[in-house]
Amino acid sequence: MAKPKPYKRIVFGADPHCGHRVGLTPPLYQSAFKEKKSAKYLKIRKECWNFIGDEVEKLKPIDLLALAGDLIEGPGGRSGGTELLTTSIKEQRDISVEAIRFFEARNIIISRGTAYHVSPDGQDAEDDIAEILGAKIGDHEFFDVNGVTFDMKHHLGGTSIPHGKSTAISKEQLWNLIWADYDAQKRADVVLRAHNHYYSYNGDDTWLGINLPALQAMGSKYGARRCSNLVKFGFVHFDVFEDGSFTWMPHILRVKSQAATVTRY
């Protein structure tokens, strides 16, 4: 009989935006929909999924999959639906369910994402996904693994300066301390947020804060035309040991198929 492992493994993911042309897309749906510039975005989707597939297989078995929101892209109203693989919320939901099932996690916990993406007309599509998967879902989730308290929520304020990424997550940790002082939250050891599609971390000997990378690659019109930040594609995993110590590691892909090109004349 195999000896039980002395830790519990958690995979943290965020912002897969399933249904978007560069959202997380499992093989079953890679070529299932017609789209403009299909070859370009299909290449990106395949490269990203192949990375996720390889990395996740190395980590199995996974005790807990924690997802920090924006599981689907939604109607895509701001771009007239032109960036979508499918405008059907049901089909986007099916893509998300298929992707999440690949992780084969024993438990799943979800914090709801941005209303624009996941709650069109007030209907929480992520709740449907959670029900199908038997997952726990909430707006702001606190959970304990081997004595380590995790605080997970989707939204985090952003910044356009590279050296300012620590400010917002530090603010979240400070608010957690204030809420804990009022006995309204448990003081967290690890604070996790998402939404910005970049990866950063900071903290000290008493806490760790992580802004989770996205499971959506570059490829939105808004990002290309308005944003300066470098999108980080990937996820983070933790191994939490029985004595409450833990290790953690980011899994980040530099997506070669979406690198900028230079036009020569």
- For domain 7-140+212-257, the question of CATH label 3.60.21.40 is answered with yes
Per the CB < 8 A criterion, the answer to whether 44 and 258 are in contact is yes
The secondary element (H helix, E strand) that includes residue 26 is none
Task: Give the distance between the most distant pair of CA atoms in the chain.
Answer: 67
Round to whole Å and give the CA distance between 157 and 77. Answer: 23
Write the secondary structure of 218-265 as one string of H (helix), E (strand) and C (coil).
Answer: CCCHHHHHHCCCCCCEEEEEEEEECCCCEEEEEEEECCHHHCCCCCCC
Per the CB < 8 A criterion, the answer to whether 16 and 56 are in contact is no
Single-letter residue type at 132: I
- Cα→Cα distances 246→195, 209, 232, 237, 239, Å: 25, 14, 23, 10, 5
pLDDT tens per residue, the chain (265 residues)? 556 789 999 999 999 999 999 999 999 998 877 665 578 889 999 999 999 999 999 999 999 999 999 999 987 766 667 789 999 999 999 999 999 999 999 999 999 998 777 777 767 899 999 999 999 999 999 999 999 999 999 998 877 787 878 899 999 999 999 999 999 999 999 999 999 889 999 999 999 999 999 999 976 655 556 666 788 999 999 999 999 999 999 999 998 887 777 889 9
Structure tokens at 37: 């510039």
Q: What's the pLDDT at 5?
A: 81
Instruction: Write down the domain spans for the chain.
Output: 7-140+212-257
Q: What's the pLDDT at 160?
A: 76
Q: Give the predicted TM-score (pTM) of the model.
A: 0.92
Round to whole Å and give the CA distance between 174 and 65. Answer: 26
Residue with tokens 């230079």: 262
Round to whole Å and give the CA distance between 98 and 16. Answer: 12
Reported residue count of the chain is 265
